[in-house]
Amino acid sequence: MAVVTPPDPRPPTRRLLRPRQVATVMLTGLLLALVLNARDMERSAQTSPFGARRDVALALLGPVSRVSQALGLDRPRAALDAALGHDQGPGNIGVEANLDAGPTVPLLPGSSLPPSSGRENPDPDTRVRPGPTPRPAWTQQDPLHLWVGGDSVAGFLSIEMVNLAQQTGVIQAHGHYKISTGLSRPDYYDWPEHLAADAAAYNPQVVIFCAGTNDDQPLQTASGIADFGTGAWITEYSHRVGAMMDMLVAEHRLVVWVGLPVMRAADFNARMSIIDSIDQAQASLRPGVTFVDSRPIMADLQGHYSDYLPDASGQLTLMRAEDGIHLTPAGGTRLAAAVLDVVRGLWTTATVPVVGTPAAR
């Protein structure tokens, strides 16, 4: 007679990992995450405040990042970032603006704009005003060559400007934006160097630049670190802005420097106003450079921040991102259309020669 043993009703006993095994799994996961994300972590360290913590982080992350890139271990993360628009952006992608000086923007306590460099215009009453430089009309055979870019706020400005340029059929535009950049940290991303390379590659007649949302941080100067908004900081930042403008106008390019839009947070808005004031002051010293105040373009009728503004058809449309800083695609279209109107006007009224035109050849 066979004996049947009934199944054990108790659930099988699970073997628990020992503490050492748990630690090993956790450490392995952390090391894997470190290797896969080393490049982004190094970039984050590069943009962190100057000091011992930053130096140690770069010393530790630098070798890991180089190994990760050499072995291609960073490619999955880079592909994901590119798909989500978290990297440089497209890179090779492809309302009337108020140009009045406007009210003077207050600076931080104890700060002031640097003294003039002697390059200001002479007395308007005695200045000889040259006439507009003759320029050919834009055609499909002879299009306008335009470059547009900057930091993340310039992201949708670049994308939508390229879209508008394609629609005209007479403008060839190249867009280049990079998140977490500006003029404050050339050790992380050197905009003059990258812009010079793009200018050599695409030879734009008009350069549109917008940056500054990451620049409210200390600057490295010849005499040490200068805190944001101090006299030393403003002098150094003014020098960087002016040097970049000089580089472009020396190559006979029309420069349109787009100011930062009004921000939702009052304290951040005040800090961005300081940067706008410097940009506007430096542009006013240089023929061939035009500062476009984007605040009236991206604000409501009272000049205040608003998430929603009318589009070209008058329909209220979401223009700003959730952070109260960046633009939505519709916001990029609104700003790009206004800036393009400025470019059209400058092409026929500016008094300086432009690369590719008869006067500059």
Helix (H) or strand (E) holding 310: strand 308-310
The confidence band for 357, taking pLDDT boundaries of 50, 70 and 90, is: confident
d(CA 205, CA 216): 30
- Is the pLDDT at 60 greater than 60? The verdict is yes
Mean pLDDT (the chain) is 80
The confidence band for 131, taking pLDDT boundaries of 50, 70 and 90, is: confident
The per-residue pLDDT for 316 is 97
What are the residues whose beta carbons fall under 8 Å from the beta carbon of 143, sequence distance 6 or more?
Answer: 170, 171, 172
d(CA 245, CA 170): 26
**Which CATH number describes the domain made up of 144-360?**
3.40.50.1110
Q: What is the pLDDT of residues 220-248, one digit of tens each?
A: 999 999 999 999 999 999 999 999 999 99
| Residues 324-345, mean pLDDT to the nearest whole number | 98
- Is the pLDDT at 91 greater than 50? The verdict is no
The per-residue pLDDT for 96 is 28
d(CA 14, CA 135): 81
pTM: 0.71
The per-residue pLDDT for 315 is 96
Q: Is beta strand 316-318 parallel, antiparallel or unpaired with respect to 308-310?
A: antiparallel
Please provide the DSSP assignment of 28-88 as one string.
Answer: HHHHHHHHHTHHHHHHHHHTSPSSHHHHHHHHHHHHHHHHHHHTTTTHHHHHHHHHHT-SS
Sequence spans of domains, the chain = 20-84, 144-360
- Is the pLDDT at 85 greater than 60? The verdict is no
| Residues 141-147, mean pLDDT to the nearest whole number | 97
